[in-house]
Amino acid sequence: MIIPIFLPHLGCYDRCIYCNQAYITDIKDNDVRSTIKRLLDTHNGKYEVGLYGGNIFGIEPSILKKLFTYFEDYMDNIQGFRISTKPVPLRKETIEIFKEHKVSTIELGIPTFNNEILQRLNRKHTGEDLFRAFYMLKDEGFYVALQVMVGLPDESFEDIKETVKNIIQLNPHYIRIYPLVVLKETPLQRMYEDRLFIPISFEDAVERALFIYLNALQHGIRVVKIGLTDNEIIKDRVIAGHYHPAFGYVVRSEGFYLSVKAKIEAASIKGGVAVSLNNRDIPHLLGHRRSNIDRFKEQDLHVTWVKDDIKEGCFLIKQRDKAIEGSIFDALSSIDQ
């Protein structure tokens, strides 16, 4: 179990244009120590602690040491810490503090590897900074994960391909994929209202997230999260972009729709077909509110499904004497622009 503790803007000397962490975390208590006590006093047994929000690398080493002292009363229960942070500034002293205090996993935020977009986002780092931090932390024995985004200002599909290429090269412990949303009281809100930023369509956001997800999966890289949840964002403060409570499910469902459609079209099949697949994949075949089944009907296809002992992500399409094997990766042929 991971107990998340949010540290709004701690260590952030510059805010990204899309960020208002007081909204994202919904924590207004500036007393970090009391926040830690309130969250950990209610838990027994063994657990990990996740330190999220802010930029922990930006915290001065003396303050970082003090922060870890707030956990001393709970160390019999804490198995380790995982943190999320920008890749800069990375100090040797910070690494040593992490080692002394059971930090095991470090998630590095890298919305894009396009340096011009990173500058526009006010990230204050480059893609090269990410590479340096990643390899340094990995060499020091940490598990290193990545957080990436889709739908950024001026983002092209070529940028998504570059993100995928770098994810595969780095081979992180896992990744998270987030769609960009516009929050109230951020510079991005002003850009949106002045029409300096126009969000991509929901369909494009799903497609770009799906492209990253499938390529990561194909190379054995775990994707632990796609999309935002109610714990990370306050819905009534989103004014634009693509917040969806089931974004990850929609992305995976789109992958199943495109892959089954590609195999059916390649075989020139019409009419009724039965799809055998793993029980866990049936909701993905059906789609959000059965939207995939409705789309198939619009193409004169009557799709039924059969639970089978098949590997997750794979399927078998049957029609009379035809039997066609496929997998969710067949969707890549439809979105590899």
Pure H helices in the chain: 21-25, 32-40, 61-69, 92-100, 115-120, 127-139, 157-170, 187-193, 202-218, 247-266, 282-286, 291-298, 332-335
pLDDT tens digit sequence for 296-334: 999 999 999 999 999 999 999 999 888 999 999 999 999
Once rounded to an integer, what is the mean pLDDT over residues 122-137? 96
Is residue 14 over pLDDT 90?
A: no
Which band of pLDDT confidence, cut at 50, 70 and 90, is reported for residue 52? Answer: confident
Class of 2-245 per CATH? alpha beta
Distance in angstroms (rounded) separating the CA atoms of residues 164 and 183: 27
Judge whether 138 and 185 are in contact, CB under 8 Å. Answer: no
- Band of residue 27 on the pLDDT scale cut at 50, 70, 90: very low
DSSP letter, residue 186: S
What residue segments make up the domains of the chain, in order of their start? Answer: 2-245, 266-335
Which residue type sits at 239?
I
For residue 32, the model assigns a pLDDT of 81
pLDDT at position 209 is 98
What pLDDT was estimated at residue 321? 82
Position 147 scores a pLDDT of 97
φ, ψ of residue 328 to 5 degrees: the values are -60, -25
Name the pLDDT band for 81 (thresholds 50, 70, 90).
Answer: very high
- CA dist 133 and 309 (Å) reads 42
Closest among 85, 250, 247, 124 to 179, alpha carbons compared: 247
26 band by pLDDT with thresholds 50, 70 and 90 = very low
Q: Is a pLDDT exceeding 80 seen at residue 21?
A: no
Mean of the pLDDT values across residues 26-42?
Answer: 75
Q: 291-298 and 247-266 are packed helices; what angle lies between their axes, rounded to 10 degrees?
A: 30
Q: Evaluate if residue 230 carries a pLDDT over 70.
A: no
In the predicted model, is pLDDT for residue 30 greater than 60? no
Residue 24 · residue 7 · CB < 8 Å = no
| pLDDT at site 337 | 59
In the three-class reduction of DSSP (H, G, I as helix; E, B as strand; rest coil), residue 80 is classed as: strand
Question: Phi/psi class of residue 98: alpha, beta or left (left: φ > 0; alpha: ψ in -120 to 50)?
Answer: alpha
Local confidence band at 228 (pLDDT 50, 70, 90 cut-offs): confident
Contact 81, 104 (CB under 8 A): yes
Q: What is the pLDDT of residue 145?
A: 98
Residue 29 has pLDDT above 50, yes or no: no
Task: Give the pLDDT score at 72.
Answer: 94
pLDDT at 55 over 90: no
Q: Are 247 and 179 in contact (CB under 8 A)?
A: yes
Look at residue 232 in the predicted model and tell me its pLDDT.
55
Q: What is the mean pLDDT of the chain?
A: 91
135 band by pLDDT with thresholds 50, 70 and 90: very high
Rounded CA separation 302/134 (Å): 48
pLDDT score, position 310: 94
The answer, yes or no, to whether residue 158 has pLDDT greater than 90, is yes
Report d(CA 206, CA 156) in Å as an integer. 14
pLDDT recorded at residue 130: 97
In this model, does residue 22 exceed pLDDT 60? no
